[in-house]
Structure 1
């Protein structure tokens, strides 16, 4: 299982939001580079960075910080937040990102997203946010009136291989991941690689996800709140 440390960037600072609420922000570090260096020096080779300004405003004002991390540390980075067009996706990948994660684009600009899959294949990851089992979008305020099969199958047909799936009710809560949800997803879509996101609170949660043979898990708040150490995270990590 790939344990992927998360860095959420807002106005150039490392932060965490509670359940995606921009009014509930905790700042952990004023230097994204210093934060990323901790993960690299511990032995992680790939990190997850969310551009919260991009997600909210559609402007990649944190891109300079992401590029600095890549250039200074030589670490692999996957990023999401505000990717709304084919040109956005292409630009980010050409800037040196290993992977891009698209969520709302897959709902609102489906043909453009399918074209990204055609062009970039496994470098394009679907960010699938789920609310009561349905795909949520628009800042998690709306849900898609489609089954997961109807939503995912066209993408699978065009080369989708990896899905970062967040249970909104668990995001940033430290209440534990939704193990039953991931079990169902893996059973229903055995050819997809699922990355769990949301709710991880301790090493026991990582152990449970590993036992379910999850492809990967993103760890954010549990690390920043000192519920998980880097050594504990590495114990369950298989390098990419």
Structure 2
């Protein structure tokens, strides 16, 4: 074996070792990313479970109110006071509760505005009528689940746009989620504020979402807030008629 062949073999071994080193490092890097993604999913799952438990507590209170209403209506019917007004109130309350539930829990908003409008006419309540008009003016309402998915997509776009070329290439093969991403923490704050009906805190939180990519999402959030506020207005006013 002459010197030239030895040099070729030497360079080949060097290239082979370097390639192996890069490959091993990439495997380790992807494993770390995968572990971080799994940890992030676990954290998100815990937050969702906490939110679900809180909502179920509120849901049980609403169901109790509906049960009390039905029992009261049954008593009134036995006493000969089963007017259509009370039946309409019961139906209105059920429809409003369905709308509220779908807004917080379902994949799509369950809009009952067309069913509610004829029932509120006999109440002659300007507050309820204004709330219904506000809801009717909304072209589209995203549920909390839809807002979350849209928020995640927006974060992905932002991170992709500001990432390096190598990270963009990797992101085409594997989805990378940074559990410490401050933007993702913002949605957790917004979600908690929604659960507490703390609209003022939401305003403060979204003021920090300055990326232009968030503009369409903020419009969706605004529609959600308008819907939630007006549904709550209708619900609480109906309770005044029932109590």
Same fold per superposition (TM over 0.5): no
Determine which structure has greater relative contact order: mean sequence separation of CA pairs < 8 Å that are 6+ residues apart, divided by chain length.
Answer: 2
Pick the structure with greater CA Rg. Answer: 2
TM-score norm. by structure 1 comes to 0.30
TM-score norm. by structure 2 comes to 0.29
Decide which structure has greater helix share. 2
